[in-house]
Amino acid sequence: MAAQADTIEVPTDAELLQAQADLWRHSLYYLSSMGLRCAVQLQIPTTIHRLGGVASLADLMAALSLPSVKMPFLHRLMRVLVTSGVFAVDKDSESGGELYRLTPLSRILVDGVTDEHHSQKYFVLAVTAPHCAEAALGLADWFKKDLEPPVPSPFEDMHGAPVFDERTPLMDEEFDAVANEGLAAHDNLGIATILRECGDIFKGLESLTDCCGGDGTTARALVKAYPHIKCTVLDLPKVIDKAPKDGVVNYVAGDLFHTVPSSQAVMLKLVLHFWSDEDCVKILTQCKKAIPPHDEGGKIIIIDIVIGPSLGPIMFEAQLLMDMLMMVTTRGVQRSENDWRKLFMEAGFKDYKIVRKLGARCVIEVYP
């Protein structure tokens, strides 16, 4: 057996060259992430938008007030970001130079625009922040540690506090603010798409509780589309204290582990992936207590990732990377359909339906 371990199948020349290129790509992908972070910090997407949607390299240099000596370096950064789909490039018919324009990806990074697409600027800044990068760099050491359950994430193990915890501001107040802005942006992106593509799940409802609904952005959009639905937002007191008291929705300060306000439906939008299976069962059990039987319209509405390759390799990879983010920064996990089914059955639910119309995410209706 030892002799076999000392030998390995020799790849062909073509395989070896491809493996070398793949090795470079996988080892250096972090530079693509840091390039995106740099573009957001420099406000390149917002600048291109303000320049009318198209900008030359000289336009960007002037608008960003960058030293002229940095122009060739900016060109190299933009070339990588074009290749990765962050920006697009056209040839200027007059000068022959390059003109950069926004893509759907960079459009959702434009800051200061009021529309249904909430800027994802802070999501990028949060997940590429040094605290998260350091936690990921410590993965090998974390795997070797024999930690008592519940096992802390690499982030918590390294920094002494979880993300989105009361202790996080004490660790780094600026990072805590960016992380919370990023979470809000991540949660609120695509609300209008949900209402357009999956609006049927809200028809016939008279009342709904949005658990961990933050400042009520989702609930207010829901009430605007369906004025007859009485919406309640449940969140921690520190969140509710800052929520707008506009009378559109009802705000309740509390903890979904202990009690959930009664309503016909309870919504958990991008909530359960932050929690372990045991904690999810506790949350779902409380939600089940808050709703009427299925024949009276009672249901849980979950908006979250359902991991699976059916949407193609790019969406599948995005889902798996989001699961790695959960592993590095939280005690939660992104789940497959089988994982979700086990949670529902353990919490006492009888059936569920998955609506796959939200890209990498799904809507799951769960029935008591």
Residues with catalytic annotation?
A: 273
Question: The tokens 């829901």 sit on which residue?
Answer: 222
Q: Is the backbone peptide bond immediately before 150 cis, with ω within 30 degrees of 0?
A: yes
Tell me if residue 233 falls in helix, strand or coil: strand
Q: How far is CA 280 from CA 168, 183, 291, 332, 344, in A?
A: 23, 19, 17, 9, 9
User: DSSP string of 20-67?
Assistant: HHHHHHHHHHHHHHHHHHHHHHHTHHHHHHHTTSEEEHHHHHHHTT--
Q: What is the gyration radius of the CA atoms in the chain, in angstroms? A: 23
Answer yes or no: are the C-beta atoms of 239 and 187 closer than 8 Å: no
Distance, CA of 157 to chain centre? 22
Other CB atoms within 10 A of residue 95 CB: 10
Q: How far is CA 96 from CA 61, 72, 89, in A?
A: 18, 17, 12
Tell me if residue 253 falls in helix, strand or coil: strand
